[in-house]
Structure 1
Amino acid sequence: MKDNIQIDKYLKKAEEAFLDNKLVKSLDYYNKVYELTNGEDVDTIINLALIYDSLGKVEKAEEYYKEALSIDDYEERAYYGLATIYDEKEDYEEAIKLYNKAIYINPNYHKAYFFLANAYDLSGQKNLAIETYEKLLSLDDMDFWSNLNLGCIYEEQNKNDLAYRLFSKALKINPNNHLALFNMGVICCKFNMIEKAINFYEKSIEKNKSYEYSYLNLAVIYKHRDTEKGIQILSSGIENCEKTHFLYYNRSCFYALINENNKSCEDIITALKLYPEFLKYVLEDEELESVRELNSFKSFAAKLN
């Protein structure tokens, strides 16, 4: 009886600490519960695994998930937890097996379906990814990320009508998400609805000023219709984003179009400093032919090689 009272006390403190994001403190209390229960309480073991995983101690987390399964081999949370660890390691084959085990035990395991679909997608098994996202949407058709991610796969496959429908659904669920706005811009461009595409890209930038691809895609629309405006958009992206190497590369091409070769050269050199692997593309890019003839570029390229 005394032990049970102490266990309840520690559990309460562990849960409070976890909710306050005091993970080490929470871990300490769960370890005390683990000792008092002789390592036989599965919920405590799962919580220990979760906290160790959150603290980046993956091997320890894996140990505890396996310990939970040694007590109850139908513990869906342990299979799911192990799957996420292998997923992070990009061992998608093992992750997929484990997600499927969790789903076999619990056919309504929402998170397991979602990450299983993502693992299929990342490992190139697109049809299985589609099938899994569709299963998930049959359980919850208002799942924002499932609608968006499935739409992205359909867009990659050029099934644009299906992609448009899913992106529209995602925007109904969350009209302010920059990725949903961005992807609607992509589809509108494919349907040659250019003004709508511009509107979606501009809204995407408004919602997230640090998403570089919105600037790139919007600028490309203006590349030949209003090159200077395209340059302004890319400049704004360079100012607001961390990943700018391809924005510099593209702005270099835009400058080359209006014969601003010195500015173009400055940008391409900056792009190459940030991402030297661009050199093979620069040497073949027809738009940069005149820039490659500049002594400043030749000198830099020689040093880079």
Structure 2
Amino acid sequence: MDKIKQAIAYMQENKIEEAAALFTEVIEENPEDPVGYINFGNLLFHMNDFTRAQRFYERAMELDKHAATAYYGLGNLYYEQSLYPKALENFQKAIELGLEEPDVYFLLGMTFQHQEQYKLSLPYLLRATELDPDNQDSLFQYGLALAQSDHLKDAEKIFHKVLSLETNHSDANYNLGVVALFEDRLEQALTYFNEALRIQPEHILAANGKEKTEALLNES
């Protein structure tokens, strides 16, 4: 196993000092190679040392302006600090440079979501689901973006896909209840809200949805 792979393995095992020592060796042996700096930046990011992580990513970019994973790392760093315009810029650059990973598309979509630009998030969240079709988080967020963009029928299909992967997904049930309620399918809405509450009894939104639905049923 080469040093980078070993260091990454150490990082995954939370052996921070061992990983740092190996990444340092990699950089000392290959000071003009951006890979060592990117991986050390990832380690520092993992440690929540954002200031130093940023310096390592930027050094990698100085060595190779086409280092897509450096831009992804920097975008992730900004995303974690809720600096969404800067995150957006770096994620887009990473994709422009050819990074074709589900995470970068997912986080770019979520960056738009956090800025309430739901329609702009759709193509990126869709791409994330195409690259990783069994990822519940990507599917759910794509469904949510569809619903927030008034594509309720499409959103409903996606929430059902989420449930096919995870039957006990309270938020997918809740959102199916919202769609059903919006379309005056009151009995169905109540079933979904009850299911969300069975899975997560403290689900406040589902409890509110149930209360509203029951009131509408009593009126009819």
User: TM-score if structure 1 supplies the norm length?
Assistant: 0.63
| Number of residue pairs aligned between Structure 1 and Structure 2 | 218
Shift of 1:64: 0.6
- Where does residue 41 of structure 2 map in the other structure? 49
Q: 1:33 to 1:159 in 2, by over 3 A?
A: closer
Q: Matched residues in 1 for 2:134 and 2:4: separation?
A: 34
Determine if the alignment matches structure 1 residue 21 to structure 2 residue 26. Answer: no
Secondary structure of 2:21's counterpart equals helix
Determine if the alignment matches structure 1 residue 68 to structure 2 residue 56. Answer: no
Give the conservation status (yes or no) of the 8 Å contact 2:174–2:192.
yes
Q: CA RMSD in A?
A: 2.7
Determine if the alignment matches structure 1 residue 189 to structure 2 residue 167. Answer: no
Percent identity of paired positions between Structure 1 and Structure 2: 22
Q: Matched residues in 2 for 1:27 and 1:210: separation?
A: 42
Determine if the alignment matches structure 1 residue 102 to structure 2 residue 80. Answer: no
Give the conservation status (yes or no) of the 8 Å contact 1:154–1:160.
yes
> Per-residue displacement from partner, 1:18-70 (whole Å, max 9, x unpaired)?
222233442233223333x1533433222211111111110111111111112
Determine if the alignment matches structure 1 residue 33 to structure 2 residue 44. Answer: no
Unaligned runs of 5+ in 1: 1-6, 227-305
Determine if the alignment matches structure 1 residue 204 to structure 2 residue 184. Answer: no
Give the conservation status (yes or no) of the 8 Å contact 2:119–2:149.
no
Shift of 1:189: 1.6
Q: Matched residues in 1 for 2:210 and 2:12: separation?
A: 42
Q: Matched residues in 2 for 1:30 and 1:207: separation?
A: 44
Q: Report which of the two structures shows the higher radius of gyration computed on alpha carbons.
A: 1
- Where does residue 267 of structure 1 map in the other structure? none
Give the conservation status (yes or no) of the 8 Å contact 2:76–2:87.
yes
Larger deviation: 142-151 or 180-189?
Answer: 142-151
Q: Matched residues in 2 for 1:101 and 1:151: separation?
A: 26
Give the conservation status (yes or no) of the 8 Å contact 1:100–1:116.
yes
Secondary structure of 2:187's counterpart equals helix
- Where does residue 262 of structure 1 map in the other structure? none
Shift of 1:194: 2.6
